[in-house]
Each structure stands twice: as C-alpha cells, then as structure tokens.
Amino acid sequence: MATPRPQHPPEAATRPRAIDGPALARAFAGGAATLAQQADAINVINVFPVPDGDTGTNMAMTMRATAAAAAYAASGSAHDVARAAADAALMGAKGNSGVILSQILTGFAAAPPDAVLDAHELARALERGREAAYRVVSAPKEGTILTAIAGAARAARRCADDGAPADDALAAAVGAARDAVADSPNLLPVLKEAGVVDSGAQGLYVMLEGMLRALRGEPLTVQLGGGGHIDESWLHATRRLHDGAGAGYCTEFVVSGRSLDREAVRLALAEMGESVLVVGGDTVLRAHVHTADPQAAFAYARTLGAVSHEKADDMQAQIDALAARPPAGAVSRPCAFAVVAVGAGDGIEELLRSIGAAAVVRGGQTMNPSAGEIAEAIASTGAAAVIVLPDNKNVVMAARQAAEAVPARVAVLPAFSVPQGVAALVAMNTELSFEQNIAAMEAAMAHLATAEVTRAVRATTIGGHAVAAGQAIAIIDGRLEIGEESIERAVLSAVARMVAGRDAPLVSLYYGEGADEAGAEALASNLRTEHGCEVEVVRGGQPHYPYLIGVD
C-alpha cells in the first residue's frame, strides 16, 4: 500500500528544520513510553516468526534502556544522544525483537559527529537502520518489522526530498509503518489465517508514533489501529510452523573478547539452530539462536572470550503458556500493579521514571518525604496494587505508614538506597504477578552491594572507624567502612572492597553534587584498569553525596 506524501501545513516553515540533542532524547523517551503502554497488547498478537510471546515486553525493555541512556546524554548534540542510545540498546536488547530494534536504532548513531539531524539525515538514519536489521536476520521474511522499517525509510526519504522539516519526515515514516502493519497478513499467510498483524511491525509503529508525538509535544497515548483481534487459530498456525524441528530453547548471550568475527559466530550458531542473530563489533557481540542444546552454544561462546547475560528459555513452555491466555479482550488489559519510588536529583528522578516507576516522590537524605506525600503518590497511580521503593532507610517507616492510609494493596520493599531501587525496577516484569515481582525485585536488591560517598560533617568514631570532620567517607551497605583524604580515593577504596570476590562485577557510579561527568569518567577508567570490571556512569544530581555506588 503506497503511503501518500504528507501535506505540509503553512506553519511548517516556522518549525525547527532539525532535531537537536534534547529533542532526540525527548523523542526516544516518547517511544519508550508508548511501547510500555502497549506492551501487553503487542505480546498477545506475537505469533510469528517465533513464539516467544513477549515481543512487546522485549521491545519496551530495550527501548526503556535506550531512553534512559539518551536522557543522560540529553545536554549534548543529537549525535551524542544517538550514540548513547545505540550503545544502551545493544546491551539492553532482549529477545529477537529487541535485538532487531537495537539494530534499527544504530542507524541514528552512524552519522558523522557533525551531521545535522534534519529530514535528510533522519531518512538516512532509518535507511541505515533498515540495512542493519536485514543484515542480522539470518532468513529475512517480508511482512515483519523488516518490511515496516523499509517502508518507513522510503517514506521519510520521499518527504525529505520534498524539502519538509524533520518532524514531517518522521510523520511520513509513522504512516508507512502503520500501513505495513495493516498489510502484514497479506504477506505472511500464517498471520492472515490467525487473524492478526505482525507484532514486531506493530511495535515499531507504536515506537515511531510515540517518538513523533513527543517531538511535537502531543499526548503519548497511541491507539492500536486494527489487527488487535486474536483467536485460538494462531496456536495451530504457530505449531504447524514449528512442526518437525521442535520448539527448543530461545538462547542468548553476550561475549566480550578481542578481534571477534561476527560472521564466523553467525555461521557457527547456524550449525546449532535457527533464528540466528549476531550483533555488535570486534570486542563485544550479542547473539541469539533457537537451539535444542543451549549449553553447546554457551560452551562455544566461552571459547571466544568472557560470556555474560546467558539466557535459555523453553519455547514450548512459552507456547503452552500463550495458549492458556484469554483469547479475547486481553489486548488492552492494564498492568496489574504500579511502582512508586523515592529519589532526589534530576538525573535520578528521570532514571526512575524511565525504567518503570509510575510516580517518583522527591526526597532522600536530609529531605525525607512525609507519609502523606507518599500516600498521594500511591493514589496518583490509580493502581489496585502498588510496590513502594523508599530508596532510603529513613523513608521506610513513612512509606509503611502511607501504605496503611490508602485503600490500595501496598508492599513496601526494603530498598535502602537509590542503586537498590534501580536494581529492583530493572528486575520488574509486567508479565509476572504482583507477588512474583516482589520476589524478583527483592532478590535483585539482595544481590547488590551499595555505597554512599560524602564528607563527614563532624568528627566521630563508628564501628571502630575514627573520622575527622570534613574527611571523605564511604558507607558500604549501611556501615561506615572507608575514611580517605579525598572523595576520589574514597570511591576507589570502596569499589575495591565491594568487587572483591565477585565474578565480572558491574559497577554503577551515580555522580551528584560535588562531582562532574569528567571526574566520574576518570574514576570509571581507573576502575576498569585496576579491577577489569564493567563500569557505567550515571548523572544522578543527588544532593550531599558526590557519588552513590552500586555493584552487581
């Protein structure tokens, strides 16, 4: 179906011709928000090409990581934002759909650093994304997300050639993606038989629509147009599609090494199974394969370098779980619970929202929110069940008191620090029950070591540690453990103690008042050299504490 070229309104001439860094970060946040809204609806229609049953969730979680990284880089150029977003998408990608989406997003980052993200460059970004997406899929099929990104790129190119502003080119891409969704059953018979559209294409359309709405300052609610119906015939079609080979295991891993050969890895995995995807560069690769023997894939990966993010999901079990879902009316079911988190600092508040907090109460050390403020936030979610992350030991009692004052079912988790709260939110899965999420979030917090680095406001001795007023100190897991001459030395000493005995630790440095990005990056470089650990730097903006640290 041909997409008509948009008619540009007279005011188009007065709108910005290009997208800058803050606007691109805002657009990515809009794409993440709309995917989160529609994840369940997209999951229900996920019947092809693989029966993972979580296309919407995987795309939403991938985009959530992308938006969070973009928010950290939002003060920079469009290229800075795109680069940060693409890197986060690669490492945050989940499942087949998330990997393909991450490749599409790399198209925005491949432009020269000085390129202006106008309509022509936006079209080029989508074209590069299309090429990358087709390249990583071992057996591309039309009628999927690949067709949708191809149509979006063509439409954006035509609009750019007409001299339109960047947002009009994106609007043309949205229209083409919507047309591709509607046309997908005509290209894939299994979809027509099941009476559904392609879930990956639907996810791309929803994301692009959210980006456009955020860019234009419009409401982010996106209505799924058509294709929402699903009936039990999808199960029979999916099982026929996989007859003979067995469902096997959806297997993923990340390998870090030197001089990695993406094509060689792809060919090796193709010998082990189907639906092979390999993305990344010569030092880090992320791989996906459907295989009957995931351990063989992991063993092969370990011959290449250090392996992390291993996952092997039983696809037959997923198919059976999908078969048990209600066949009608489920496409618009809301999330069964909401999360309220407490945090102080612009970066921390943005981060908490971007990774799933429905409401954030401003507060923390020296500015503890009242029970009434927390109760207000719980009520504002409109959810019947709410999880509260106090993110500070001095907020727990107020949170529990708030829980008793509202009609909602409330669980207050013992998150005593922002890094713990972040770990809990990352572990959240809207496909699981309220109780299952509580267990998963508590487990994630328990595995995390945390530290707060600041200066002593008075001389004292705690737990055998004597410190002088003004001395740099580190409080590790609630205990004063480190006293140093400088904040930087306190950070290095604290992390050295926290990573000891951990296998491939991930260190998160949240820099706030009294610290800056350059200093944080210098510390990160030192830690990578000294301990060989992965380090991520996060703009927290928290008061009183130059650094908060999480070690997983």
Give the DSSP per-residue string, 290-354. EES-HHHHHHHHHTTSEEEEEEEEEHHHHHHHHHTS-SSSGGGPPPS-EEEEEE-SHHHHHHHHH
CA separation for the pair 251, 157 (Å, rounded) = 36
State which amino acid sits at residue 317. A
CATH of the domain at 167: 1.25.40.340
- Choose one of 270, 298, 323: the last residue of a domain: 323
Question: Does the residue 544 lie in any domain?
Answer: yes
- Nearest CA to 544 among 367, 426, 381? 367
Are 211 and 67 members of one domain? yes
Tens of pLDDT, residue by residue, the chain (552 residues): 444 444 444 454 445 678 999 999 999 988 988 888 888 788 767 543 222 356 787 788 788 888 888 887 888 899 999 988 888 787 666 656 777 888 899 889 888 888 889 999 999 999 999 998 888 776 788 998 999 999 999 999 999 999 999 999 999 999 999 999 999 989 988 677 657 788 889 999 999 999 999 888 887 765 554 333 323 332 233 333 333 344 577 787 888 888 888 888 888 988 888 767 676 667 777 777 778 888 999 999 999 988 877 777 765 554 454 444 443 333 333 446 899 999 988 889 988 888 888 899 988 766 777 777 888 888 888 888 999 999 988 788 778 877 877 888 999 998 989 999 998 988 888 778 899 999 989 998 988 999 989 888 777 776 677 778 888 888 898 888 888 989 999 999 999 999 988 887 889 999 998 899 999 999 999 998 988 888 888 899 988 899 999 998
Question: Does the residue 211 lie in any domain?
Answer: yes
Backbone phi, then psi, for 425, in 5-degree steps? -65, -40
CATH of the domain at 405: 3.40.50.510
- Choose one of 267, 295, 323: the last residue of a domain: 323
User: Counting beta carbons within 10 angstroms of the beta carbon of residue 122, is it exposed (0 to 12), middle (13 to 18) or buried (19 or more)?
Assistant: buried
Q: What is the pLDDT of residue 115?
A: 85
CA separation for the pair 299, 78 (Å, rounded) = 40
CA 137 → CA 94, 131, 266, 339, distances in Å?
15, 10, 10, 36
Are 81 and 172 members of one domain? yes
Are 377 and 262 members of one domain? no
Instruction: Tell me which residue range forms the domain holding 518.
Output: 449-551
CATH of the domain at 520: 3.30.1180.10
Question: Does the residue 275 lie in any domain?
Answer: yes
Are 145 and 18 members of one domain? yes
Are 382 and 455 members of one domain? no
Are 304 and 266 members of one domain? yes
Are 237 and 253 members of one domain? no
User: Counting beta carbons within 10 angstroms of the beta carbon of residue 326, is it exposed (0 to 12), middle (13 to 18) or buried (19 or more)?
Assistant: exposed
Structure tokens of 503?
């296998």
- Choose one of 241, 258, 273: the last residue of a domain: 241
CB 317 within 8 A of CB 300: no
Q: In 366-500, at which residue ranges do the beta strands (DSSP E only) sit?
A: 385-389, 409-412, 449-455, 460-462, 465-467, 472-476, 479-484
Question: Does the residue 439 lie in any domain?
Answer: no
User: Which three-class secondary structure state does DSSP give residue 176?
Assistant: helix
CB 133 within 8 A of CB 149: yes
Q: What is the pLDDT of residue 159?
A: 94
Are 196 and 340 members of one domain? no
Question: Does the residue 440 lie in any domain?
Answer: no
- How many CA atoms lie less than 13 Å away from 463 in the CB half-sphere? 8
Question: Does the residue 441 lie in any domain?
Answer: no
Using the structure block, give the residue that is written with the tokens 């107020």. Answer: 398
Are 410 and 457 members of one domain? no
Give the DSSP per-residue string, 73-130. TTTS-HHHHHHHHHHHHHHH--HHHHHHHHHHHHHHHSS-TT--EEHHHHHHHHHHHH
- Domain count of the chain? 4
C-alpha triplet 415, 254, 96: angle, nearest 5°: 90
Are 275 and 291 members of one domain? yes
Question: Does the residue 99 lie in any domain?
Answer: yes
- Nearest CA to 280 among 259, 249, 302? 259
Question: Does the residue 512 lie in any domain?
Answer: yes
Are 91 and 178 members of one domain? yes
Are 319 and 342 members of one domain? no
